[in-house]
A and B are shown apart, each in its own frame.
Chain A
Amino acid sequence: MLPALPLDEAGKYVAAAYLVFLLLLLVYVAIMASKLSKIEREVVEIAELVDRKTADPPPPPPPAPRAKAKAR
């Protein structure tokens, strides 16, 4: 093992190590945030899809054959 580094030289290594940890955490949080915004977009799309489905009621069923009416 080398002798202990002076504070001015050791400081940059210590700072680098803690910055690596912070950077990893920030990258992870940024990725999670982008996933969250994707989920948000999907929620909006699904809400629009539900709105469209409720606005356009399904077409009425075809009328039953009027056999009796024709017979008259």
Chain B
Amino acid sequence: MLVLTGAFAMVFFYAPLDADQGFVQKIFYVHVPMAIVALFGFVGGGICAVMYLRTRETKWDMRSYVTIHLSVILAVGVLITGSIWARASWGHWWVWDEPMLVSFLIVFLLYATYWPLRFSLEDKEKQARYASVFAIVAGAFVPLNFTAVRMAEQYIHPETFATTTGGMPGKFALTFVVALIGMTLLFFTLVKYEMASKHATFRLRALRRKLAGDDDDLMLTGRSAAPQL
């Protein structure tokens, strides 16, 4: 939070105004780091899913679940802030012939089906296995999708890491990097908190079952989209 607060202070007091877009370009420092962290989070969820399929340890399924959960929350932020920026820059809340916007929406909608998929499976082992396969396929789709969009000819969305146009000037780049580090640290902190919360919940449930002398795991937990430890 400290790094992110520092980054936002840099956005308004250090980074200069953009020559083309003016003050509206300040949205870039919250929109793009959120998008990058969300996309890497989706890929990270896929990597954790690979680890689950290799080891069959539930902790990897839990990591995959939590990472995807937080990435989807960030993706909601990306869509809303992107829409606000589009309205200010292009005069429209949404542009359907803009590949970057539509492709991000597709990725978001794809991951929105992750919870219904998990919830539809009652058997916990099967749930973890199917969800892992989904996370791997969807995680592989993210960089492919991004590359395809970069290669698209019709392109009005600004490029963040354009090398042909010289990239970002120093003060813009420094502010952006600090904002990206802050967003990444925030993401890992929230992943850690959510993991700790889930662990505590499941340990308490196990303890309650033990005290009640109930050996049937499914009787008290019921159906849930979240992994069971």
Cβ A32 vs Cβ B194 within 8 A: yes
Cβ A2 vs Cβ B90 within 8 A: yes
Bound-state Cα–Cα, A50 to B208, Å: 10
Residues of B within 8 A of A (CB): 8, 18, 20-24, 26-27, 30-31, 34, 73-74, 76-77, 80-81, 84-85, 87-91, 156, 186, 190, 193-194, 197, 200-201, 204, 207-208, 211-212
Q: How many A-B residue pairs have CB under 8 A?
A: 87
Cβ A36 vs Cβ B197 within 8 A: yes
Q: How far is the CB of A55 from chain B (nearest CB, A)?
A: 14
User: With A20-B81, A24-B77 given, is the CB distance from A13 to B201 under 8 Å?
Assistant: no
Chain A 8-24 residues near chain B, CB threshold 8 A: 10-11, 13-14, 16-18, 20-21, 24
Cβ A17 vs Cβ B31 within 8 A: yes
A26 close to B (CB within 8 Å): no
Cβ B22 vs Cβ A20 within 8 A: no
Cβ B88 vs Cβ A21 within 8 A: no
User: With A17-B30, A24-B76 given, is the CB distance from A7 to B200 under 8 Å?
Assistant: no
Q: Count chain A residues whose beta carbon lies closer than 8 angstroms to a beta carbon of B.
A: 30
Q: How far is the CB of B58 from chain A (nearest CB, A)?
A: 19
Chain A 24-41 residues near chain B, CB threshold 8 A: 24-25, 28, 32, 35-36, 38-39
A64 close to B (CB within 8 Å): no
Smallest Cβ-Cβ distance to B1: which chain A residue: A25
Smallest Cβ-Cβ distance to B69: which chain A residue: A28
Cβ contact of A42, chosen from B23, B34, B156, B204, cutoff 8 A? B204
Cβ contact of A13, chosen from B76, B77, B87, B212, cutoff 8 A? B87
Most chain B beta-carbon neighbours within 10 Å: one of A10, A36, A53? A10
